[in-house]
Amino acid sequence: MHSIDIDPKTKGEVEVTGWIHEIRDLGGITFLLLRDREGITQITLPKRKISKEILEKVKKASRESVLRVKGDVQEDGRAPNGFEILPSSIEILAMAKSPLPLDPTEKVSAEMETRLDQRFLDMRRPRVKAIFMIRSYALRAIREFFYEKDFIEVNTPKIVATATEGGTALFPISYFEREAFLNQSPQLYKQMLMSSGFERVFEIGPIFRAEEHSTRRHLNEATSIDIEMSYADDKEVMRLLEELIYHTYKYIAKNASRSLRVLEREIKIPDIPFKRISYNEAIEISDLEWGDDFGALEERKLGESMGEHYFIRKWPLEIKPYYTMPCGKNESKSFDLMHPRAELASGSQRVHDHKLLEKQIEERGFSPESFFFYLNTFKYGMPPHAGWGLGLERLLMTMLDLDNIREAVMFPRDRRRLVP
């Protein structure tokens, strides 16, 4: 039984398990705070009413030891959740070594690197655990949204022979007698599934980028939410993306209120539709030249100007991937979804014509032969289609106003960190 399953009116004996969060010995009475996944339960031990055996066990137990407690519930407005448990038995299931390398009560702060080194302990902190409870709610909301929209969930390979974007930010691996790579994106496989007639697919899975960033908003392994949609253009999938963001915010505000209270966060559900500006308008605001991409300073300037979620549309074709549909002389049917703090998603209408796609691959300096398995699917009837990829960690970081993207990952992988 979790702490959330008990209320002050619960009758009869209950059993709770968890870690010793804190012990307060006040002489004639001892309070033991037991922490489980859902919260904290107060175990009250008046020395005149509790057996010496139980009191000795509590005295012996160290902080963060794991206990099983049985006893009766008693209403007490001063206790967490408005009740306490008077124990009839206490069992020590696992004794914790002392001293602790990190303080799960959060009374003693720790640097990010220390927290990540001792991540298993760090995630015992109620505020840290609340982030991952919200992450779970977000994933549930996202899946429910796509199922309601008639999408099919798929899983594509993460070991691939060719770079998705054709670039160099890849992690090579030894694959028997050949070289292979960790996949940057499910992009090519999503498009191939459009040729297979699945029409609407989504995937939530890891992506790998061998970029040598050491910033508060970059990871080398991240979770991407990707969709591809047949018979759709860039405008349609932009609408789908903003509806998903709205739905996820609303779902979390409604269903994760306890975790939000622990984090002392109130999330503002964004208004839709989001603002839309062209690339030309964006470079005017940020004082960039045509063809430039936006760095952190330019994104901050744009964010201050826009003030909320917004789309940048009609990017120059030359700085977008080869599969992006051209539009006009130098533009493309592409977009980025931006939050004032960071880019969240990128998408476009895709090229579905084989000859045009092959031409754009060559113009980027790549060999069409390297993309044979992909290009082959465009020869036999590829419907028009569009899609996008959304970073889950960046969505959570901006939604919860987290200082560092690593706070949104249980075990982050960045340029320097491979363990734990």
Residues classed as catalytic: 209, 211, 217-218, 343, 346, 394
**Which tokens in the block code for residue 198?**
């699945």
CA distance 312 to 335: 5
Which two three-digit tokens encode residue 229? 């949609």
Tell me the backbone φ, ψ of residue 187, rounded to 5 degrees. Answer: -50, -55
Q: How many residues does the chain have?
A: 420
**CB of 224 within 8 A of CB of 207?**
yes
Instruction: Specify whether the CB–CB gap between 384 and 237 falls below 8 A.
Output: no
Do 163 and 181 form a contact (C-beta atoms < 8 A)? yes
For residue 201, how many other CB atoms are within 10 A of its CB? Answer: 24
For residue 56, give both structure tokens.
């000795």
What's phi and psi for 180, nearest 5 deg? -135, 180
What is the number of alpha carbons within 13 Å of residue 364 lying toward its C-beta?
23
